[in-house]
Amino acid sequence: MAPGLLHLEGVGYSYGERRPPVLEDLTLLVESGEWLSILGANGAGKSTLLRLMAGLLSPQRGRVLLEGEDLAQLTPRQRAQRLAFVPQDVRLSLPFTCQEIVAMGRYAHSKFWGGQSEGDRLAIERAMQDTSTLHLAQRPISQLSGGEAQRVRIAQALAQETKLLLLDEPTSHLDICFQLELMELLRRLQRERGMTIIIILHDLNLAAHYSQRLAFLTGSRLAAVGTPAQTLTPAFLREIFKVDLRVEEGEGGEKRVSLF
């Protein structure tokens, strides 16, 4: 296996000194080029974990290492040159055009006052090509549908030209067609560009189908990390989500989870 890209060492985090910790003593190694999905019940600390991995929050205990370097020691610009983070879907009502929004992804690379180099222009065009958003270039972001807007936000993250992409529930608010389209886009990026994908998902079947590994959070700790085949068992899922789920094996041994 390729060497580790992101390494969490005994990470603990709490919002405020007197509040109970959201995450405790969490150790995890993310391999380069893998797709890791983070799952867990609401309030289990998934978003906090993703923000720690993205360097947007700094752990109070432990360290997060990106290719051996402590994320907390990097400046915001250095960090944004090496990893991209797509926040949860927030409707943008800005009158900026899609191209301008994607171009903002180049902030960490660009010179003073946002001047664009040839490399910037190429990165923007390629990001928009990859996400099939070129035809939206001149449209204001506020006029797009949910699926289109989400593609533009991913284009913005791709324009950062990083090896690591973190996404916080990118499929929520999207209909099933857009969900699949988005998942296929991410798989293409992983396979063709060798990108590492870390993603929070709610849909167990989407996670099982696309991920190499699943990480389950419960009660501020990492309950299990493993392949879908290892982790998706009725007993384990009951422990995590407190409901009885049926797990069937589909073609090629792929796991299918259903409620009824």
The verdict on 144 binding other proteins (CB under 8 A) reads: no
Supply the minimum distance, in Å, between the C-beta of residue 45 and other proteins. Answer: 17
Among 29, 41, 72, 92, interactor with other proteins by CB under 8 A: 92
Residues near 93 by beta carbon (within 8 Å), at least 6 away in sequence: 142
The verdict on 197 binding other proteins (CB under 8 A) reads: no
| H helix intervals, 87-233 | 98-103, 118-130, 146-159, 176-193, 204-210, 228-231
Ranges within 6-35 binding other proteins (CB under 8 A): 16
Which residue from 243, 245, 174 is spatially nearest to 208, judged by alpha carbons?
Answer: 245
Among 1, 90, 235, 243, interactor with other proteins by CB under 8 A: 90
Rounded to the nearest 5°, which phi and psi values hold at 225? -130, 130
For 40, how many CA atoms within 13 A lie in the half-sphere containing its CB? 25
The verdict on 114 binding other proteins (CB under 8 A) reads: yes
DSSP 116-135: --HHHHHHHHHHHHHTT-GG
- The size of the chain, in residues, is 260
Ranges within 146-185 binding other proteins (CB under 8 A): 156, 160
Which window, 22-30, 82-90, 216-224, 247-255, contacts other proteins (CB under 8 A)? 82-90
Residues contributing to the site for other proteins (CB under 8 A)? 16, 54, 56, 75-77, 79-81, 84-85, 87, 90, 92, 94-96, 100-101, 104-105, 107-108, 110, 112-114, 156, 160
